[in-house]
Amino acid sequence: MKALHYAPNKKNLTILFLAAFAIRLAVFLFFIYPNECYKQPDSGDYHHCALSLTLGRGMHRLDNNRPMFWRTPGYPLFLSCFYKIFGIKSTDFSKNRPAQTAALIFQMLLCSLIPLLIFFLALLLTKSLSISWITAWISAIHVGFVLADTYILTESLSILFLIPFFIFFFKSFYLPGQISPPNNKLLRNLIMAGICLGAFAWIRPMGHFVSIASAIMILILDSVNWKMKLKKIVIFLLVFFAIISPWYVRNYNITGKLFFCPMFGLYLNTFNAPKIIRATEGLPLRESINKLYQQANKMAVQDFLIARASGKDLATELVHLKVALPIVMKHPFLFLKDWLTESCKTTFDLYSYQLVDIAKGTFYYDPPEEFLTEKWAECIYEKKVSPLMRFVIYLEIIFELLKWIGLLLGVFIFWLFPLIKRLNVSDYIKQTGLLWLKVAPMIGAFIIMTGGFGYARLRLPVEALMVILSLTTWYWLIKKENL
């Protein structure tokens, strides 16, 4: 308990880093590596993009030399560095294990810095060493962070840029009632936030949605005058889009259309629109998906010929958007119901369900539909899960229950109670309420964008923020601060 009040120094931060790396390396060597569990549903795409980059062909498909638009180049570029060092053994994923192993070990080494970054994020937000150390150590052993760091996926590396974005962004605006530093310092922090978010977007394209959500937060919550608000929004968005503009230029030069990553169209046509077809036409889900894909493929043939006639290529994902969007617009309530259901899955899903997938041998693909209650039931009852896996699952269930008790109680303590008492509450309640007001919208922004297909790993970027808010409640309960 005394260690929770130590100021950060080289010794205790090094211990945190080494502990995080040791846990990740052990999980990888003894659990993930033997059965190639690091090959997740999206890993094949990153592998093929990395092969193309290694061969000097840019982001292109190897089978037909068509440009790749669905994936952004950040993670494939990282992976290609190791393919260059170790050499390409084959286009087959499994034949390149030496390069992939080296890439993952280096990835785990880099991502062992994440608990340190989370410590400084928590300290910035709460000014509490105990909350900061607890949050950092939770992230060091958290099953979601540990597993993500051992996969050929984008979540872990992208968080290395996202946490600094949070730090700079939350330092760049203050709520009414908080002491704000000079405007020039706020602008410097905002510029750094834009740079970090731009780097994040090169790895995970959801950075666009985050940039808009961040601008809205500044517009609504910032304590500065309207002129300064607009100035900050313009600077932030200009920096962000300047960082990612080369990919816009690349895509425009190839297709004649301005876009960064057309994933939204394929998401709608794979997950949301087929469920609307199922509800309105009575078709099974897989038949609904096939029907919409056939429509998209037929339309893509025509659009491809038109594009080629003008010397351009076609992003077929944009064709999927043309098929799915009219269906979504025609049935907005069915779409909204499905979108919120999937976002709810993201919110309450268990990271340790990935252990169930590994035990069942289904870790390398995603089904077209999953149900939260069934996933929780499998975590608790699945017979193929080993005792050690079950122990980890039960630990996460206990952790999630404690986290949500803190979050739900915090809503009452820091938001509802001050309203009932007409803000006649203690300084701790006031300041923590402002902290929640500042952080909660960012959590909501990340989770609400996952309505295509929800699962726990998609909330990993804001898991630390959720833990920080929950711990502020537990801190109040344990310390018995005054109301």
HEC assignment per residue over 404-467 = HHHHHHHHHHHHHHHHHCCCCCCHHHHHHHHHHHHHHHHHHHHHHCCCCCCCHHHHHHHHHHHH
pLDDT digits (tens, 9 = 90+) for 189-201: 999 999 999 999 9
Model confidence at 336: pLDDT above 60: yes
482 pLDDT more than 70? no
Residue 1's pLDDT band, with cuts at 50, 70 and 90, is low
pLDDT score, position 291: 96
Quick one: pLDDT band at residue 223, thresholds 50, 70, 90?
A: confident
Mean pLDDT, the chain, rounded, equals 93
Judged against a pLDDT cut of 70, whether residue 366 lies above it is answered with yes
Under 8 Å between Cβ of 370 and 349: no
pTM: 0.94
| pLDDT tens column, 67-86 | 999 899 999 999 999 999 99
Per-residue pLDDT tens over the stretch 306-317 = 999 999 999 999
In the structure encoding, which two tokens stand for residue 363, read together? Answer: 């870790």
In angstroms, the CA 397 to CA 351 distance is: 10
pLDDT digits 0-9 by tens, 130-155: 999 999 999 999 999 999 999 999 99
Half-sphere exposure of 462 (CA within 13 A, CB side): 20
The better pLDDT of the pair 94, 4 is held by: 94
Say which amino acid occupies 451. G
**By the 8 A CB rule, do 355 and 329 touch?**
no
Partners of 60 in the β-ladder: 67
Residues shown for the chain: 483
